[in-house]
Amino acid sequence: MKIFFRLFMVIALGMSSCRIPFDPEVPDTFTNVLIVEGYLDSEGKPSELRLSKTVPLSADTSSLPETNAQVFLTAFSGESYPLTETEPGIYLFQADVPEEGTYTLEIQLANGDRYQSQPIRPILTPEIIDVGFNRNEEGVEVFVSTQGNENANDFLWTFEEAWIYRPRIRTTYIYDAELEDVRFRTEAEQISLCFKTASSPDILLETSSRFQDQVVFQKTITQIPEGNERIMERYSILIAQKAIAEDAVLFWDILKKNTEDIGSIFSPLPSQITGNIRSLDEESRPVVGQVSMGVVQEVRLYIDFVDVLPWPYIDPQFNDCAIGLELIRSPFYSSFFGSGFVLPARELMEGTTIVGYYPTDRRCADCTLYASPVRPDFWEDE
């Protein structure tokens, strides 16, 4: 949504080359604009439609989710498929519909404003031939290969990333205030294994007719810089390949130019970007967005740390992290570990008895401060 918001600020900010600071007056037509974005899978895979409104430059957020809308996909043959709002501004579509049909997307906002898409025909996206990665001097390049045909010539790729995140210091111990003692953490209390996720920030397009036999060979999907934390242990990327129509290519190409060259007076203006959504109430009411439909092809790739060695991952925020040298004995567990800011990290044994623990700061040992301890449902260890 930040992409769309920045797009509407091009006129206000990009047309001025003045170096004197100023507070631009953005016309009302460039705020409170409905943004519609989505690719609906026709074979029943869960897919999302996003609705939001642009906001003034002075706002704290880049966009405002459009909630409580009524959204339907309607077939020319009469069938209607409702979309359900699962999160603010995010509407879930999950239906197996005939690819030979023609459809329109119907939107009614909570305030009564109505919008409709132009007729949409699903496109059968060819399968992904290959996904893989190359280790190079800059880091790791993730790529995809596919082949277009006379019905699917233009492609849009998106991806979802996930990776293991570890703290600098790992501990299996926790101070239990009820026991007034240190014990082993349960699985639900573990803080040494977390996961981070991210979505594709860029617009990835390609036309297969530019290549011999329409084979798109090793199209770069993302570049992971040398030593980046995403491959500190194990990394996963789910690549989604979507065939799009010619009008969608124009929309995404103009949007891509604006996001890559934002602020240039030679960039396409927002007025040139319309998409396939229109207002049913007022033709002059601005709306920007593109809704496409078809078969989404997906492939997941895993990359392990050992696959890209050497990989010199260092997080400077943990450079001063260490296990303390002063042993904390049992009479002092409460005063040292009770606040939760200091954790027991390593035990000291005398014979078969633990007589104390060496401490460390929580920020150095608790990955839940930076990521989620919940393992993604799709995650595979090997």
Q: Would you list the DSSP string of 97-129?
A: --TT--EEEEEE-TTS-EEEEPPB--B-PPPEE
* Domain region containing 354: 167-194+321-369
Beta strand ranges found along 297-382 (DSSP E): 297-304, 328-329, 342-350, 353-361
Q: Are residues 128 and 210 in the same domain?
A: yes
**Which bin fits 378, alpha (ψ -120 to 50), beta or left (φ > 0)?**
alpha
Q: Which pair of tokens denotes residue 274?
A: 């319309």
Domain count of the chain? 2
Q: Does residue 327 fall inside a structural domain?
A: yes
Are 268 and 294 members of one domain?
Answer: yes
- The verdict on residue 133 lying in a domain is yes
Do residues 136 and 277 both lie within one domain? yes
- Whether residue 187 sits in one domain with residue 248: no
Residue whose pair of structure tokens reads 């035990």 in the numeric block: 347
Q: Is residue 316 part of a domain?
A: no
The per-residue pLDDT for 145 is: 98
- Other beta carbons within 10 angstroms of residue 267's beta carbon come to 20
Say whether both 150 and 264 belong to one domain.
Answer: yes
For 215-275, give the secondary structure using H, E and C.
EEEEEEEEEEECCCHHHCCEEEEEEEEEEECHHHHHHHHHHHHHHHCCCCCCCCCHHHCCE
Residue 359 lies in a domain: yes
Domain end call among 261, 278, 307: 307
Phi-psi category of residue 351: left, alpha or beta, with phi > 0 → left and psi -120 to 50 → alpha: left
State residue 7's pLDDT score.
Answer: 46
Kindly state whether residue 381 falls inside one of the protein's structural domains. Answer: no
Residues 128 and 200 reside in one and the same domain: yes
Q: What is the pLDDT of residue 212?
A: 96
User: Does residue 176 lie within any of the structural domains?
Assistant: yes
CB 191, CB 113: distance < 8 Å: no
| pLDDT < 70 stretches in the chain | 1-31, 57-62, 259-273
Contacts of residues 244-249 at CB distance under 8 Å and 24 or more positions apart, as own/partner, are 244/39, 244/123, 244/154, 244/155, 244/156, 244/292, 244/294, 245/121, 245/123, 245/154, 245/292, 246/154, 247/118, 247/276, 248/154, 248/156, 248/276, 248/290, 248/292, 249/154, 249/205, 249/207
E strand or H helix at 73: strand 70-75
pLDDT tens for 269-317 read 454 567 999 999 988 788 999 999 999 999 999 999 999 999 999 899 9
My answer on whether 132 and 212 are in the same domain is: yes
CA distance 252 to 257: 9
- Residue 104 CB contacts under 8 Å (≥ 6 apart), including other chains: 73, 74, 76, 116, 117, 118, 119, 120
Q: Which two tokens stand for residue 244?
A: 């799009």
**Ramachandran class of 129: left when φ > 0, alpha when ψ lies in -120 to 50, beta otherwise:** alpha
The separation between the first and the last C-alpha atoms of the chain, rounded to the nearest angstrom, is 35
Among 49, 330, 370, CA closest to 183: 330
CB atoms within 10 A of CB 5: 22
Answer yes or no: are the C-beta atoms of 34 and 89 closer than 8 Å: no
Residue that the structure tokens 């010619």 belong to: 246
Shared-domain flag, residues 254 and 364: no
Long-range contacts at 180-187 (CB < 8 A, ≥ 24 apart): 180/333, 180/334, 181/330, 181/333, 182/333, 182/337, 182/344, 182/354, 182/357
User: 115 and 45 in one domain?
Assistant: yes
288 in Cβ contact with 297 (< 8 Å): no
363/320 Cα distance (integer angstroms): 11
- Structure confidence by residue, pLDDT tens digits, 70-108: 999 999 999 999 999 999 999 999 999 999 999 999 999
Using the 8-state DSSP alphabet, how is residue 10 labeled? I
Question: Given 307, 334, 359, which residue is the final one in a domain?
Answer: 307
Judge residue 290's burial from the number of C-beta atoms within 10 Å of its C-beta, 0-12 exposed, 13-18 middle, 19 or more buried. buried
pLDDT at 269: 47
CA-based nearest residue to 37, from 76, 91, 94 = 91
Specify the DSSP element, H or E, that contains 335: helix 333-337
Are residues 124 and 180 both part of a single domain? no
Specify whether 298 is located in the same domain as 339. Answer: no
User: 374 in a domain, yes or no?
Assistant: no
From 263, 284, 307, the end of a domain falls on: 307
Domain match, 184 and 95 both: no
User: What's the length of the chain?
Assistant: 382
Residue 377 resides in a domain: no
